[in-house]
């Protein structure tokens, strides 16, 4: 883990591509990345770690350095694209380390509000096309910030329009934008959004399940974006997570807002209360 907190470059790296593994703070290109920090924290939770060795103030400074004037986040202090993906990473990271001081909440919720589109869905940013991925990122962020139901960001009418936008993304499986083909990973992106919005009961569960299972590779296993394609880790994970939300037997329950299992998400609370894992 990258240690120096001075320049807002803290967090976890994805690899040591920009710095050798055996050195501390090295080089101007070495620094944390929001998506990697989120992933690393989730990995630690999955492994039962208590996060006591995590430099939380460093991470908070790293988040602060990544928030832009429009409220959104970029991925690292060296500069990158900015969109709803990193908004989610920032919220999830803050939730896991139980410290939201790295986020200007009014600013980020304003960004989300402005990203709600004319069709009721949410895009990667203001004016951008409504998309299942960005919709999940926005809804889960609001959930993690406890701003989903207080009408401070989304009115009741907007929540209803959002539910309908999501439900209309079901063809057989879910797709991510109107008139695009169904893709198994949206089983999670859209499915989880509906779950957080309290509208997952309105999904046609049987049809969705039928679609997801059709993307499974009969020879080597794993799930692909559609049937008769090539399975990959991403679609396999999101198909499983999506199936779990549909109460598929034999799968661990999922905590939609964090995109982890419920057991992993519970570790956050256990850490807060000082519980030891069994």
Partner 1 sequence: MTEGDEQHDAVVGSKLLKDDERWNDVTPIYHSDAENAVVPIAASEEFKDAFAYFRAIVQKDERSERALQLTTHCAELNSANYTVWQYRRNILQSLGSDLHQELKYCAAIIEDNPKNYQVWHHRRVLVEWTKDPSKEIDFTDGILRDDSKNYHAWQHRQWVVEHFKLWGEAELDYSARLLEEDQRNNSAWNYRYFIISNTTGFKGDILEREINATLALIAKAPHNESSWNYLSGILLDAGQSASQQVVEFCESLYSDKKRRSPYLLSFMVDTLSEKIDKGNDAKDNVERAVKLLDELQQIDPMRRKYWLYQKRSIENAVQSKIGA
Least distance to partner 1, CB of residue 98, Å: 28
Binding flag, residue 218, partner 1 (CB under 8 A): no
Binding segment (CB under 8 A) for partner 1, from list 16-24, 102-110, 138-146, 250-258:
16-24
Angle, CA of 208, 262 and 152, to the nearest 5°: 85
Residues 6+ apart with CB under 8 A from 16: none
Binding segment (CB under 8 A) for partner 1, from list 96-104, 116-124, 219-227, 254-262:
116-124
Q: What are phi and psi of 207, to 5 degrees?
A: -65, -40
Pick 47 or 252: Cβ nearer partner 1: 47
Token readout for 76 is 């690292």
Residues 6+ apart with CB under 8 A from 225: 183, 184, 185, 215, 235
Pick 87 or 145: Cβ nearer partner 1: 87
In the stretch 231-270, what mask flags binding to partner 1 with x, by CB under 8 A? Answer: ----------------------------------------
- Sign for the pseudo-dihedral over CA of 256, 251, 239, 210: negative
Binding flag, residue 230, partner 1 (CB under 8 A): no
Which residue is it, tokens 């690292």?
Answer: 76
Q: How many of the other CB atoms lie within 10 Å of CB of 195? A: 25
Binding flag, residue 204, partner 1 (CB under 8 A): yes
Alpha carbon distances (Å) from 122 to 74, 115, 175: 18, 6, 14
Of residues 78 through 97, those in contact with partner 1 by CB under 8 A are 78-81
Least distance to partner 1, CB of residue 123, Å: 8
168, HSE (Cβ side, Cα atoms, 13 Å): 14
Q: How many of the other CB atoms lie within 10 Å of CB of 150? A: 10
Residue from 94, 109, 115, 130 binding partner 1 (CB under 8 A): 130
Binding flag, residue 119, partner 1 (CB under 8 A): yes
Alpha helices in the chain (DSSP H): 34-46, 56-66, 84-97, 105-115, 132-144, 156-167, 186-196, 205-214, 233-245, 262-273
Residue from 199, 227, 246, 266 binding partner 1 (CB under 8 A): 199
Pick 22 or 228: Cβ nearer partner 1: 22
Of residues 19 through 38, those in contact with partner 1 by CB under 8 A are 19-22, 26-29, 33
Pick 199 or 213: Cβ nearer partner 1: 199
Q: Are 16 and 41 in contact (CB under 8 A)?
A: no
Binding flag, residue 43, partner 1 (CB under 8 A): no
Q: Which residues bind partner 1 (CB under 8 A)?
A: 15-22, 26-29, 33, 75-76, 78-81, 117-120, 123-125, 127-131, 163-164, 167-168, 170, 177-180, 199, 201-202, 204, 207
């Amino acid at each position: 883990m990258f240690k120096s907190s001075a320049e807002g470059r803290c967090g976890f790296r994805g690899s040591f591509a920009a710095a050798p593994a055996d050195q501390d703070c090295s080089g101007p290109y070495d620094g944390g990345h929001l998506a990697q920090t989120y992933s690393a924290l989730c990995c630690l939770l999955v492994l039962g770690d208590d996060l006591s060795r995590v430099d939380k103030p460093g991470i908070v400074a790293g988040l602060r350095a990544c928030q832009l004037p429009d409220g959104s986040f970029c991925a690292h202090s060296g500069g990158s694209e900015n969109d709803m993906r990193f908004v989610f990473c920032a919220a999830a990271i803050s939730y896991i380390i139980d410290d939201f001081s790295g986020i200007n909440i009014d600013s980020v919720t304003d960004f989300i509000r402005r990203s709600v589109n004319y069709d009721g869905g949410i895009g990667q940013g203001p004016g951008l096309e409504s998309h299942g991925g960005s919709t999940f990122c926005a809804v889960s962020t609001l959930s993690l910030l406890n701003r989903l139901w207080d009408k401070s960001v989304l009115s009741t009418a907007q929540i209803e329009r959002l539910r309908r936008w999501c439900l209309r993304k079901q063809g057989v499986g879910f797709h991510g934008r109107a008139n695009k083909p169904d893709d198994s990973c949206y089983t999670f992106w859209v499915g989880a959004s509906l779950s957080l919005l309290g509208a997952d009961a309105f999904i046609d569960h049987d049809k969705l399940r039928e679609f997801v299972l059709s993307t499974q590779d009969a020879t080597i296993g794993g799930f692909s974006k559609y049937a008769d394609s090539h399975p990959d880790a991403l679609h396999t994970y999101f198909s499983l997570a999506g199936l779990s939300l549909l109460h598929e037997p034999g799968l661990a329950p999922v905590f939609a807002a964090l995109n982890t299992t419920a057991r992993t998400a519970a570790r956050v609370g256990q850490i807060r209360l000082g519980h030891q894992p069994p």
